[in-house]
Amino acid sequence: MHIIDRRLNPGGKSLENRQRFLRRAKSLVQGAVKKTSQERDIKDVLEGGEVTIPLDGMHEPRFRREGGTRDMVLPGNKKFIEGDYLQRSGQGSAKDSGPGEGDSEDAFRFVLSRDEFVDLFLDDLELPDLAKRKIAQTESEGIQRAGYTTSGSPANISVSRTVQLALARRIALRRPRKSEIEELEAEIAACTDEDLRAELVDKLEKLKAKSKRIPFIDPLDIRYRRFETVPRPVAQAVMFCLMDVSGSMSEHMKDLAKRFYMLLYVFLKRRYKHVEIVFIRHTDRAEEVDEQTFFYGPASGGTLVSSALQAMYEIVRERFNPSDWNIYAAQASDGDNSYSDGELTGLLLTDKILPVCQFFAYLEVGESGGSAFDLSDSSLWTLYDRLRNSGAPLSMRKVSERSEIFPVFHDLFQRRETSQEKAAP
Amino acid sequence: MTDRLFEGADWDFHTLQRITDACEEVALKDLGLDVYPNQIEVITAEQMLDAYSSVGMPLFYKHWSFGKHFAFHEASYRKGLMGLAYEIVINSSPCISYLMEENTATMQTLVIAHAAFGHNHFFKNNYLFKQWTDADGILDYLDFAKNYVATCEERYGRTEVERTLDAAHALMSHGIDRYPGKKKLDLRAEEKRAGRRRQHEEEVFNDLWRTVPKGASKTKSAISLERRRKLLGLPQENLLYFLEKSAPRLAPWQRELLRIVRHIAQYFYPQSQTKVMNEGTATYVHYRIMTQLHQQGRISDGNFLEFLGSHTNVVFQPEFDDPRFSGFNPYALGFAMMQDIERIVTRPEDEDREWFPDIAGKNDVMGVLRDVWANYRDESFIGQFLSPKLMRHFRMFHLHDDPEERAGIRVDAIHDDRGFRRVRRELARQHDVGYIDANIEVVDVDLAGDRRLILHHHVIKGSQLNETDAKRVLQHLADLWTYDVALIEVDSNDKVLREYVVSPRPIPAAVA
């Protein structure tokens, strides 16, 4: 008879089978991830979690018989006698011998871990190597104390901990103290009675022997300081989402913007341990709002882009000191702006916003299939284009289809990379 | 009381040891069971899910389908749709029982009595298991299979191995010898042979010979149909065996993979034929042991009540119009029959004397039961021992559903004097795997012509194959055979009902 505790066995034996399954079901899972991420809030994209995938593609076929005449023996007959007939459908019919069997094969929920989810999310978007390299670069290694160990290099001996342990051990094993021995020696010296003296000497011998047996410091006591390398993420980042929500922005345009912000968030989240998001929507006034209001709240009015930039600047000044925070901003707009506002917008950008930003992206969103969109440049586009030509670190692109979002994202980052490299030397 | 095995719900390894010893004493002395040595392993819920996914086996080769099952089980477990089994037990020597760490002390006792003694005795003594399984060799063989598959993946690529295994899995239910005749499975020898075969292939491989011109091929005429069939061992219902031996273009490692899948299918064959008996035996045994321990005062009243709660849940049989109904519960039917046999042996009524003259009033309960456990499978067990009293108790009735019949489903027999034998015969038939699985066999190969493989499905009671699935399975079959495959569905008068022809998919160039 053996009783064995297997709980400590390395777990995750199924992990490899699970990965094989994921690999095989990749396109299905990817589709599911894509669908799920559309329904989620920006921050939730990184949560991982359940996706539902159809089992059809993963079906394992067997020869199965169906139809024909069937015989069955069932329990629980309350009223039937031989020769009765049961209705085929409705209550009392026992036609479905395996109810739900077909249904449960249709789809099932697959729980993805955070990393699996993000990987698939990014993988589907073919996040360029460029971006991955950037992520890798920004993690630096740091060294951190991590307790004590029993082995190590002499340079790392922790004297205080070693002595502490030695003391504890000496007390536990009752090693005689130096003062005890001295006292006894003094007593012997002062002693006159022969018998008592012999007894005391004997005692002294024993104490001395004991103190030899129990060393002052034992190799067992020695402790070394242990160090651990820890990844030290580059501090923190804040991402500003600026959006024009005046009446001209349609649901489709907001959706495009949302996707862009989502990508940016995932991208930053990979890079920084801590990412804040600030949503600023504007008409002719700007206000900071939560995500729900940002994407779904109704608003209308005129358009003053400068108001949003001003609001962003205020928030940066109040809460995000540029020396502590990496600041990113992405602006989405259909490109309309009051003519009178152009100058102010340009000034705010060049003087206040761009100097504190790591990256400023301008995304001009258009209606799906909108060809007119390409015909003439909008007022905002013209303005930004001028700024960019005069050397401002601005990235800008036009988008009108969902499928363009990723390439555009890719583009923006690539462009920034090259401009940075140019700027560096 | 000092004699208690445990108090409350907590247990530790010392308690488990005491429990096992106590159960063993009852099992061996009072019940006269004969078991393989036991090995009890405590595992976590995750490990239990894991074992679930690979057909309950502790070590298994890697395949995506186990990952799929794991994900599926895990998802429904997390949602609370499914409770985990309390135990998994493996037909091996030593007999391994897995206990979940979450179980209470009472549950552990129940599981030990159920698995380590009930199932264990059944595995060791039932004739089907003796005939078809090799308890000593299975774990080593699984280990070999796992390594072999891994080695193949390294050598020939994961996709290739996966393709072969997928195909083999699709045919797994038709990779079984249904009738003994060949010798018993000896997995250790099998493993050694596989090793020798491999070694031999490596030793004799010489690339030179591939380029040697071949002599003129023999004239392809002459061999008569009968002779050809005989040479190929046709008709053959074990499709995996046939492919392994006769598929013309399989690589040796592919044949070995088919052999592995086939051996594993064969290993589980007895389990599918004895669900009612196996669970009935284990449930009867745990019930006896638990009751005995309680009578001895080794289990407190409270813990015994806890046991009765779980036991009642396990043997609950919903009626056919209950939404929870999904066929006969093997635990309920099996346990009821075992108890009924006990009743017939000790307190028979006139009816029982008439129906069971051999065992009624024989008084040696365990002797009779041990004999039953050793010599029957579900079909013959129900056919022989389902008593009128039980049929009345379950209120069984027999329905006949003919799609042609407009009036509905006919009640063919009920639990009355006229119906007992018919109900019993029908229920027995439903537990006959030979009858449940489609009867498909290879009947011919056109060796002289286009090498088309011809299979027949003998349709019973008009029940044909599901078309989508059949096509997919045949695709796998054709891929292994590498020539066309035809499946013909014929009824009992040899009338052709449906015909499938599937061509193999081209093999990616990488293999050549």
A64-97 pLDDT per residue, tens: 888 888 888 999 888 888 888 888 764 444 444 4
Looking at chain B, the number of H-run helices and the number of E-run strands are 22, 10
Q: Does B392 touch chain A (CB under 8 A)?
A: no
Stated as kind and residue range, the H or E segment containing B453 is strand B453-458
- Which residues in chain B touch residue A65, judged by CB atoms under 8 angstroms apart? 438, 463-466
Per-residue pLDDT tens for A118-168? Answer: 777 666 544 333 333 344 445 556 788 888 988 888 888 999 999 999 999
Cα B194 to Cα B196: distance, rounded to the nearest angstrom: 5
Q: Which whole number is the average pLDDT over B349-369?
A: 92
Q: Is the distance from CB of A262 to CB of A302 less than 8 angstroms?
A: no
Residue B100: alpha-carbon gap to chain centroid: 23
Q: Does A87 touch chain B (CB under 8 A)?
A: yes
What is the average pLDDT score of chain A? 76
- Which residues in chain A touch residue B399, judged by CB atoms under 8 angstroms apart? 70-74, 86, 94
The residue in chain B having the minimum alpha-carbon distance to the alpha carbon of residue A110 is: B71
- A63, B49, B63, B142, B168 from A14: Cα distances, Å: 28, 9, 10, 16, 21
Are the Cβ atoms of B403 and A75 closer than 8 angstroms? no
Report the residue from A12, A22, A69 with minimal CB separation from B403. Answer: A69
pLDDT band at A283 (very low <50, low <70, confident <90, very high): confident
- Which residues in chain A touch residue B174, judged by CB atoms under 8 angstroms apart? 63
Residue with tokens 């119009």: B321
Task: Give B460 to chain A, closest Cα distance, Å.
Answer: 8
Task: Give B37 to chain A, closest Cα distance, Å.
Answer: 6
- Which residues in chain B touch residue A29, judged by CB atoms under 8 angstroms apart? none
- Which residues in chain B touch residue A110, judged by CB atoms under 8 angstroms apart? 71, 75
Task: Give B223 to chain A, closest Cα distance, Å.
Answer: 33
Query: What pLDDT does residue A141 have?
Result: 66
Question: Is residue A65 classed as helix, strand or coil in its secondary structure?
Answer: strand
First-residue to last-residue Cα distance in chain A: 75
Are the Cβ atoms of B173 and A62 closer than 8 angstroms? yes
Question: Residue A407: is its pLDDT beyond 80?
Answer: no
Looking at chain A, the number of H-run helices and the number of E-run strands are 15, 14
3-state helix, strand, coil in chain A (%, to 5): 50, 20, 30
- In the stretch 460-489 of chain B, residues with CB closer than 8 A to chain A read 460-466, 468-470, 472-473, 476
Cα A249 to Cα A254: distance, rounded to the nearest angstrom: 7
Taking every pair of Cα atoms in chain A, the longest distance, rounded to a whole number of angstroms, is 122
Residue type, A324: D
pLDDT band at A46 (very low <50, low <70, confident <90, very high): low
Judge if the upstream peptide bond of residue A54 is cis by omega within 30 degrees of 0: no
Cα B8 to Cα B6: distance, rounded to the nearest angstrom: 7
Report the residue from B42, B70, B395 with minimal CB separation from A18. Answer: B70
- A163, A206, A222, A225 from A216: Cα distances, Å: 9, 17, 12, 21
3-class SS letters over B37-105: CEEEEEECHHHHHHHHHCCCCCCCCCCHHHHHHHHHHHHHHHCCCCCCCCEEEECCCCEEEEEECCCCH
Instruction: Please give the residue that has the higher pLDDT: either A214 or A100.
Output: A214
Q: Does A79 touch chain B (CB under 8 A)?
A: no
Question: Residue A275: is its pLDDT beyond 60?
Answer: yes
| ipTM value greater than 0.85 | no
Report the residue from B46, B98, B463 with minimal CB separation from A11. Answer: B46
Tokens of B507: 């093999």
Positions of E strands within A150-212: none
pLDDT band at A416 (very low <50, low <70, confident <90, very high): very low
Are the Cβ atoms of A111 and B49 closer than 8 angstroms? no
Pairing of strands A65-66, B87-90: unpaired
Q: Does B165 touch chain A (CB under 8 A)?
A: no
Question: Residue B277: is its pLDDT beyond 90?
Answer: yes
Q: Which whole number is the average pLDDT over A350-375?
A: 74
In degrees and rounded to multiples of 5, residue A227 shows phi and psi of -120, 150
pLDDT band at A212 (very low <50, low <70, confident <90, very high): confident
- Which residues in chain B touch residue A14, judged by CB atoms under 8 angstroms apart? 46, 49-50, 53, 66-67, 70
Query: What pLDDT does residue A41 have?
Result: 66
Q: Is the distance from CB of A336 to CB of A246 less than 8 angstroms?
A: yes
Are the Cβ atoms of A4 and B17 closer than 8 angstroms? no
A368 DSSP 8-state letter:
T
Are the Cβ atoms of A74 and B397 closer than 8 angstroms? yes
Q: Which whole number is the average pLDDT over B209-218?
A: 52
Query: What pLDDT does residue A420 have?
Result: 42
What is the average pLDDT score of chain B? 86
Mutate to test the interface with B, among A58, A63, A86 (most CBs of B within 10 A): A63
Q: Is A114 exposed, middle or buried (0-12, 13-18, 19+ CB in 10 A)?
A: exposed
Per-residue pLDDT tens for B55-85? Answer: 667 678 888 888 887 777 777 676 665 555 6
Q: Does A376 touch chain B (CB under 8 A)?
A: no
Q: Which whole number is the average pLDDT over A168-182?
A: 88
Are the Cβ atoms of A83 and B411 closer than 8 angstroms? yes
- Which residues in chain A touch residue B320, judged by CB atoms under 8 angstroms apart? 74-77, 94
Cα B95 to Cα A235: distance, rounded to the nearest angstrom: 57
Taking every pair of Cα atoms in chain B, the longest distance, rounded to a whole number of angstroms, is 90
- In the stretch 28-57 of chain A, residues with CB closer than 8 A to chain B read 50
Are the Cβ atoms of A2 and B40 closer than 8 angstroms? yes
Tokens of B360: 């009624």
DSSP secondary structure of A252-271 = HHHHHHHHHHHHHHHHHHHH
Q: Which of A384-388, B8-12, B351-355 has the highest mean pLDDT?
A: B351-355
Q: Does A164 touch chain B (CB under 8 A)?
A: no
- Which residues in chain A touch residue B394, judged by CB atoms under 8 angstroms apart? 75-76
Report the residue from A6, A67, A73 with minimal CB separation from B47. Answer: A6
Q: Which whole number is the average pLDDT over A390-408?
A: 76
Query: What pLDDT does residue B365 have?
Result: 93
- Which residues in chain A touch residue B55, judged by CB atoms under 8 angstroms apart? none
Closest CA to B184 of B241, B263, B245: B263
The residue in chain B having the minimum alpha-carbon distance to the alpha carbon of residue A24 is: B64
pLDDT band at A365 (very low <50, low <70, confident <90, very high): confident
Report the C-alpha dihedral over residues A281, A282, A286, A289, rounded to 10 degrees: -20
Query: What pLDDT does residue A380 have?
Result: 81
Tokens of A141: 């290694």
The residue in chain B having the minimum alpha-carbon distance to the alpha carbon of residue A109 is: B75
Are the Cβ atoms of A97 and B327 closer than 8 angstroms? yes
Tokens of A352: 């206040």
Q: Is the distance from CB of A343 to CB of A382 less than 8 angstroms?
A: no
First-residue to last-residue Cα distance in chain B: 75
Task: Give B179 to chain A, closest Cα distance, Å.
Answer: 20
- A31, A136, A408, A409, B245 from A128: Cα distances, Å: 20, 13, 12, 10, 50
- Which residues in chain B touch residue A66, judged by CB atoms under 8 angstroms apart? 463-466
Tokens of A29: 């899972």
- A20, A54, B167, B320 from B68: Cα distances, Å: 9, 12, 17, 32
Cα A80 to Cα B411: distance, rounded to the nearest angstrom: 7
Are the Cβ atoms of A17 and B67 closer than 8 angstroms? yes
Closest CA to A384 of A329, A313, A317, A323: A329
Question: Residue B205: is its pLDDT beyond 90?
Answer: no
Residue A196: alpha-carbon gap to chain centroid: 78
Q: Does B438 touch chain A (CB under 8 A)?
A: yes
- Which residues in chain A touch residue B408, judged by CB atoms under 8 angstroms apart? 85-88, 93
Question: Residue B36: is its pLDDT beyond 70?
Answer: yes
Query: pTM for the whole thing?
Result: 0.70
Task: Give the whole-number percent of chain B exceeding pLDDT 90.
Answer: 46
Q: Which of A92-96, A384-388, B185-189 has the highest mean pLDDT?
A: A384-388
Tokens of A275: 């990412």
Pairing of strands A395-399, A359-365: parallel
Q: Which whole number is the average pLDDT over B110-120?
A: 93
Ranges A122-131, B148-157, B407-416: which has the least confidence:
A122-131
Report the C-alpha dihedral over residues A32, A36, A42, A43, rounded to 10 degrees: -90
Question: Residue A230: is its pLDDT beyond 90?
Answer: no
Q: Which whole number is the average pLDDT over A195-219?
A: 87
Exposed e or buried b per residue across B211-224, where buried means at least 16 C-beta atoms within 10 angstroms of its C-beta:
eeeeeeeeeeeeee
Q: Which whole number is the average pLDDT over B145-154?
A: 92
- Which residues in chain A touch residue B75, judged by CB atoms under 8 angstroms apart? 50, 108-111
Cα A224 to Cα B247: distance, rounded to the nearest angstrom: 66
B327 DSSP 8-state letter:
S
pLDDT band at B165 (very low <50, low <70, confident <90, very high): very high
Query: What pLDDT does residue A360 have?
Result: 82
Query: What pLDDT does residue B225 have?
Result: 66
Per-residue pLDDT tens for A92-119? Answer: 444 444 333 333 345 667 777 777 777 7
Mutate to test the interface with B, among A14, A15, A80, A105 (most CBs of B within 10 A): A14
Residue A407: alpha-carbon gap to chain centroid: 23
Report the residue from B38, B101, B394 with minimal CB separation from A7. Answer: B101
Q: In which order are the strands placed within the sheet that holds B496-502?
A: B439-445, B453-458, B485-490, B496-502
Cα B324 to Cα B237: distance, rounded to the nearest angstrom: 36
pLDDT band at B391 (very low <50, low <70, confident <90, very high): very high
Query: What pLDDT does residue B282 have?
Result: 94
Query: What pLDDT does residue B203 have?
Result: 66
Report the residue from B394, B416, B463 with minimal CB separation from A75. Answer: B394
- Which residues in chain A touch residue B71, judged by CB atoms under 8 angstroms apart? 18, 21, 108, 110-111
Residues contacting residue B205 through CB under 8 Å, at least 6 positions apart: none
Task: Give A82 to chain B, closest Cα distance, Å.
Answer: 5
The residue in chain A having the minimum alpha-carbon distance to the alpha carbon of residue B469 is: A61
Stated as kind and residue range, the H or E segment containing A66 is strand A65-66
Residue B419: alpha-carbon gap to chain centroid: 31
Query: What pLDDT does residue A25 have?
Result: 79
Query: What pLDDT does residue B219 have?
Result: 46
